[in-house]
Amino acid sequence: MPAFSTPDPSQIAQTTSTLADVKEYLRGDPPVTDALPLLEPLLDKDTGVPVLLGDILRDAARLASDQSGLPETDEIRLIIDGLREAAQEATDWHVLHWDLPRLHQHFTHSATPQDER
C-alpha cells in the first residue's frame, strides 16, 4: 500500500472553505449553465464528495472500531454505527452524478433561441 502524507488540518479547512464558496456562489443565482461545471467534479461518480465523504466516514468507523479496545462500550458502538450509517447515506448520493447530463441538456437547450423572427 502506498504511503500517503498526513493531511494537515489547514488543508481540510481550505477544502471546506472552498465548498462554502461554492455554496455562496450558488446562492447568488448564477445561470445553471455556469454552475454545472462546478457541480460536475463535486458529484463525480467515482471521486465526488458523496463517495469521498462515505469513504472517509467508513474509514473513521473502522479506525474507531479497531482502536477502541475490548470490550467496546455501548457509547463507542453507537458512534461507530452512526459513522457507518452516515457513510452509506453519503455514498448513496453519488447517483446525483447521473442527473447532471440531463440538467445540462435541459438548460443548454432552453438557452438556445427557439424563434428568431
CA–CA dist 75, 81 (Å, integer): 10
Q: Give the chain's radius of gyration (CA, Å).
A: 20
pLDDT of 2: 66
d(CA 29, CA 13) in angstroms, rounded, equals 25
> What is the pTM assigned to this prediction?
0.82
pLDDT tens digits for the chain (117 residues)?
567 899 999 999 999 999 999 999 999 999 999 999 999 999 999 999 999 999 999 999 999 999 988 788 899 999 999 999 999 999 999 899 999 999 999 998 866 554 443
User: Domain spans of the chain?
Assistant: 42-111
Q: What is the pLDDT of residue 70?
A: 74
